[in-house]
Amino acid sequence: MSITTFFLLLGGLGLFLFGMKLMSEGLEKAAGAKMRGILEFFTKNRFVGMLVGILFTAVVQSSSATTVMVVSFVNSGLMNLLQATGVILGANIGTTVTGQLIAFNLSDIAPLFVIIGVIMVMFCKKLNIKRAGEVILGFGILFMGLGIMGDAMSSLRESPHIVELLKSLRNPFAAILTGFVITAILQSSSATVGIVILMASQGLLAFAICPFLILGCNIGSCVSALIASLGGKKDAKRAAMIHFLFNVVGSAFILIVLLIGITPITDGLLRLSGGNAARAVANAHTLIKICEVILLLPFMNWIVKATYKIVPGKDVSSEDGFELQFIGEGSIVSPATAVVDGIREIEHMGKIAIANLKTGMDALCSLNEEEINTVYGREKYIDFLNKKITDYLVRVNEIELPLADAKLIGGLFHVVNDIERIGDHAENFADSARMRIADGVEFSDKAKKQLHDMTAMVVEILEYSLDMFTNRNQEHMQEILDLEDEIDDREKKLQRSHVKRLTKNKCTPEAGMIFSDTISGLERVADHATNIAFAILEPEDNEEDDEED
């Protein structure tokens, strides 16, 4: 093989992989949030989830992207393991669409897609059109890469040594290992199957060995999801293991069938494909996946149970007892689910802060030492979540996100900061309780009732705001605005009545200072609640939103 041919092969492979990545990521960025919503909504039933998995993977052109997203969904609690099995089964069938497209050999018209994509990316200002252009450009680059590889491989047929070497690959187990290693390295079973299709079409590979290479690709495609699950929770690891077990067990069944009847099977596939080796390989890929699903669908409950044996136990908290509920510290971040995972973790942090605010006020009024200690313990947890979520958002901000999600990321940083400040106010209440105990400061029953009443209003606005933030639910927007005004008025009224009590010597200066600071703190908490509610509302559409800096 000449150096020129070698470089053409590498360059064609590089273009193919880059085109596939550009197309897949362009689709995720342009419509990832909508596709995520569809995937989340339609996966309540396993069979519907399988159909959605087929369509989703056929669109995204990557079973790895789908399974990584499923792992992320399971990790964040948006999907349980049984629901995940349906999508994983569908993803295995959907990934064969790429092979079918490759078998059409669209290399001759690929430059047309490239120029259209370039025009859309370079000369259109609207981001949605730019993203669609990336998809079209990726599609064209993918087939241009295939064309270059095909031309390079055609010259390889003139080398008897290489032809003999490739045709010497007759051992099924060696072929499976080869397919696995190449797919694990390229992180794309579609890429490996595309290479196999090209080599078979050029006569460099005997068709009888191609199904075994495809079985190796099936197993190698699990690597992405397994890596993505490493930093996740136990159920995320089990979801990745479901994918792995399905492909391993399914491949084992198909291997037995192929070893028994490889000649009639391959002859039949070639006849079915009109003698076209490329089409025969694509059809073999599709049939293998469909047969695996039919064979294993009745046994998926057993496979799920097996994952509990392989990944036993429950999630372990950190050394200080704190843990993240929805995001993994070391896991691969899925662009399509990164923001929704972050929002759910922030919601978790917000609920803890609200609970701590109520406990802090109870501690201030009752001087219960156990409640004071609870406030300090929860504040440490809130600080832990603040750091971990902020670190996570920094990681998320460094990746390409779907357009709708990219607009939200800045607001999430502000919400985390607002919730952390709410936690600080709860801690201030506990500090004031300690001061009351140390200095023997008394509160009247009337003062305690006023504080509890104002706290109830603040908790109400916090709960409405957190719901509005988490679910993009504007049902209580007016209540939030009205409560904000009421709390401002209540704070002013209580401050005035407090001054009157001081001037009439009805309370001590120490008690008055603590009371005044507390109601001021509650008013500022209500301000933070309003910030949270309006942090990620959709901005108004304008020309600036459609332009990149």
pLDDT tens by residue, 65-85 = 677 777 777 776 667 777 788
431: pLDDT strictly greater than 90 = yes
* Domain-wise residue ranges, the chain: 3-310, 337-535
Residues contacting residue 488 through CB under 8 Å, at least 6 positions apart: 523, 526
Mean pLDDT of the 463-468 span: 93
H or E element at residue 407: none
pLDDT confidence of 539, banded at 50, 70, 90? Answer: very low
**Average pLDDT of the chain, as a whole number:** 82
User: CA quadruple 145, 146, 147, 152: dihedral positive or negative?
Assistant: positive
How far is 317 from 323, CA to CA, in rounded Å? Answer: 5
How far is 40 from 91, CA to CA, in rounded Å? Answer: 15
pLDDT confidence of 548, banded at 50, 70, 90? Answer: very low
For the chain, the first-to-last Cα distance in angstroms comes to 47
Least confident of 294-303, 312-321, 436-445: 312-321
Tokens of 435: 């001061």
Return the CATH architecture of domain 337-535: Up-down Bundle (1.20)
Mean pLDDT of the 493-511 span: 80
> How high is the pLDDT of residue 86?
83
Residues contacting residue 238 through CB under 8 Å, at least 6 positions apart: 74, 81, 304, 307, 308, 310, 311
Tokens of 348: 């978790």
If one compares 14 and 502, the residue with the highest pLDDT of the two is 14
Alpha helix ranges (H) inside 42-125: 46-60, 63-76, 81-94, 96-103, 110-123
Whole-model pTM over 0.75: no
Phi then psi for 171, rounded to 5 degrees?
-75, 120
